[in-house]
C-alpha cells in the first residue's frame, strides 16, 4: 500500500471519530453539563447559601415565640431541595445555634437539619430517621413504602407554590392552556407549530419518578398516560416542569422562561391570590405516631402567624 | 508502508476512537442523569 494512501485512510478514520465525538458533545453532553459560573452558583439554591447561623446566610429569621434550647430534644428536619430554604429558615428562627453542623459539603450525623431530597426524605421520615420532612405530596410508591414499614404519614399543608412549565428563553411561545400542556405530555401535540411556535419537534422532558415535581405532574395529568420521551427528541425544542421558586432562585446567563397557563403568568402575586391555576400545596410531613412534644409544638408554630410569616418571607405563598 | 504496519496503526486509531467515544457517552449519560432540568432547557440550541 502506498504510504500516502495509508496515511489518508488513517486520517479519515480519525476524522470520523472526531466528528462523531464533537457531534455527541454538541447535541448531548453540552446540554447536560451545568454551565453555571462561580458567580451564578452563588445565587443558586445550595446548602451552604442557606446554612442556618452561618455568616451571610440567606436563611430567613423571623421573630419567634417558640425557641428551642440546647437541652431540648430537637426534631430532625429534612426535605425537598426546593423547600430547603424553608426548613433551613425554620432552624435559623427556632433552633439553638450549634444544632446544625455542616462538614465537607454535607450535614453531619447528629445535625438537626439534614438534606436527603424528596426521594429519600420520605423514606427517612417513615423509617424514623427524620421527624419532619418538607415536601410536595408523596407519590403512590412513597405512601406504599411508609405503609410497608408500618408508618402512617401525617401531611400538614403549610404553604402553597406554583407548579410551572418551562421552555427556553428563545422559544416564542409564552403561554399554553392546561389542555394543551396535557396534550404535549400525552403525545397529542408533536410539533411546536401546532401550538403557535416554530416548526420544530416538541421534546417533552419528565422528571425522576418519586420526585416532588413528577408526583405533581402525574396528578396534573388526571391519570392520562404520559409519554416518557421521543425518538430523536434531543433534536427538538424541549419543555419541562418544576416549581416557581426553584426556577427563579437559579438565575443563569442562559435561562428559561415560565409559561402562562390559561392566560395567567405564574408570578408570586398570581400564586398568592390564586389566579394562577396550577398552585400546589406543600407539606410538613411526620409519622402520625410521632408523639414527640417538640414535633407537635413545631408543627403548630408553622401554622401560626409567625410560621406563616416565615413561609412568605422565604418567597412562598402562605397557606393561611 | 507495509500492510501489517498499516493494519496495526488502523487498529490503534479505531481502538482509541471507540474508547474516547465510549467514555464520552458514559460521561454524558452520567451528567444527563444528574443535570438540572433548567440547565438542559436553557442550553438548547436555537
pLDDT value of residue A36:
52
Q: For residue A81, give every residue at least 6 positions away whose Cβ sits within 8 Å of its Cβ, in sequence order, or none.
A: A45, A115, A117, A118, A246
Domains of chain B, by residue range, sit at: 3-42
Q: Is the pLDDT of residue B9 over 90?
A: yes
Chain B residues whose CB is inside 8 A of the A27 CB are: 45
Cα(A268)–Cα(A80) distance, integer angstroms: 20
Of B1, B28, B36, the CB nearest to A29: B28
pLDDT value of residue A42:
42
Cα(A237)–Cα(B45) distance, integer angstroms: 8
Residue of chain B whose Cα is closest to the Cα of A4 = B1
Question: Is the separation of the CB atoms in A245 and A161 below 8 Å?
Answer: yes
Domains of chain A, by residue range, sit at: 41-159+283-318, 161-279
pLDDT value of residue A38:
46
Chain A residues 197-256 within an 8 A CB cutoff of chain B: 205, 207, 237-242, 246-247, 250, 252, 254-256
pLDDT value of residue A231:
77
pLDDT value of residue A39:
45
Flag if B40 and A239 touch (Cβ within 8 Å): no
Cα(A320)–Cα(A305) distance, integer angstroms: 8
| The pairing of beta strand A237-243 with beta strand A202-204 | parallel
Q: How far is A225 from chain B (nearest CA, A)?
A: 21
pLDDT value of residue A141:
92
Q: Which of A31, A202, A245 is the mutation pick for testing B, counting most B CBs within 10 A?
A: A31
> What is the DSSP-derived secondary structure letter of residue A233?
G
Cα(A200)–Cα(A68) distance, integer angstroms: 56
The angle subtended at Cα A55 by Cα A133 and Cα A316, nearest 5°, is 40
CATH number for the segment(s) A161-279: 3.40.190.10
The reply to whether CATH 3.90.950.10 applies to domain A41-159+283-318 is: no
pLDDT value of residue A287:
97
Positions in chain A whose pLDDT score sits under 70: 34-45, 250-254
Of B24, B36, B39, the CB nearest to A25: B24
Chain pair A-B, CB pairs under 8 angstroms: 111
Cα(A212)–Cα(A150) distance, integer angstroms: 22
For B24, phi and psi rounded to 5 degrees?
-65, -40
Full-model pTM: 0.77
Q: Do domains A41-159+283-318 and A161-279 have the same CATH topology?
A: yes
Residues of B with CB under 8 A from a CB of A: 1, 3, 6, 9-10, 13-14, 16-18, 20-21, 24-25, 27-28, 31-32, 34-46
Amino acid at each position: 500500500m502506498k504510504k500516502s494512501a495509508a496515511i489518508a485512510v488513517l486520517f479519515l478514520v480519525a476524522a470520523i471519530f472526531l466528528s462523531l465525538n464533537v457531534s455527541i458533545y454538541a447535541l448531548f453532553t453540552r446540554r447536560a453539563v451545568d454551565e453555571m459560573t462561580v458567580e451564578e452558583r452563588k445565587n443558586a439554591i445550595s446548602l451552604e447559601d442557606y446554612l442556618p447561623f452561618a455568616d451571610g446566610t440567606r436563611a430567613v429569621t423571623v421573630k419567634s415565640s417558640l425557641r428551642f434550647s440546647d437541652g431540648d430534644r430537637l426534631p430532625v428536619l429534612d426535605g425537598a431541595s426546593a423547600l430547603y430554604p424553608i426548613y433551613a429558615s425554620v432552624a435559623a428562627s427556632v433552633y439553638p445555634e450549634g444544632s446544625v453542623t455542616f462538614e465537607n459539603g454535607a450535614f453531619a450525623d447528629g445535625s438537626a437539619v439534614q438534606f436527603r431530597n424528596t426521594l429519600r426524605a420520605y423514606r427517612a421520615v417513615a423509617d424514623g430517621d427524620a421527624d419532619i420532612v418538607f415536601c410536595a405530596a408523596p407519590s403512590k410508591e412513597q405512601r406504599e413504602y411508609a405503609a410497608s414499614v408500618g408508618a402512617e404519614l401525617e401531611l400538614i399543608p403549610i404553604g402553597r407554590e406554583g407548579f410551572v412549565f418551562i421552555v427556553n428563553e428563545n422559544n416564542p411561545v409564552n403561554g399554553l392552556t392546561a389542555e394543551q400542556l396535557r396534550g404535549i405530555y400525552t403525545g397529542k401535540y408533536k410539533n411546536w407549530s401546532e401550538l403557535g411556535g416554530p416548526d420544530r419537534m416538541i421534546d417533552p422532558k419528565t422528571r425522576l419518578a418519586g420526585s416532588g415535581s413528577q408526583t405533581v405532574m402525574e396528578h396534573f395529568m388526571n391519570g392520562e398516560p404520559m409519554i416518557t420521551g421521543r425518538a430523536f427528541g434531543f433534536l427538538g425544542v424541549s419543555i419541562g416542569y418544576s416549581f416557581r421558586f426553584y426556577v427563579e432562585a437559579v438565575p443563569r446567563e442562559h435561562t428559561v422562561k415560565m409559561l402562562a397557563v390559561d392566560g395567567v403568568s405564574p408570578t408570586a402575586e398570581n400564586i398568592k391570590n390564586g389566579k394562577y391555576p396550577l398552585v400546589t400545596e406543600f407539606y410538613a410531613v411526620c409519622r402520625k405516631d410521632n408523639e414527640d412534644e417538640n414535633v407537635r409544638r413545631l408543627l403548630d408554630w408553622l401554622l401560626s402567624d409567625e410560621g406563616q410569616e416565615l413561609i412568605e418571607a422565604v418567597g412562598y405563598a402562605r397557606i393561611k | 508502508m507495509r500492510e501489517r504496519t498499516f493494519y496495526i496503526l488502523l487498529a490503534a486509531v479505531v481502538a482509541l476512537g471507540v474508547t474516547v467515544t465510549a467514555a464520552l457517552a458514559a460521561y454524558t449519560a452520567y451528567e444527563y442523569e444528574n443535570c438540572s432540568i433548567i440547565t438542559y432547557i436553557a442550553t438548547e440550541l436555537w
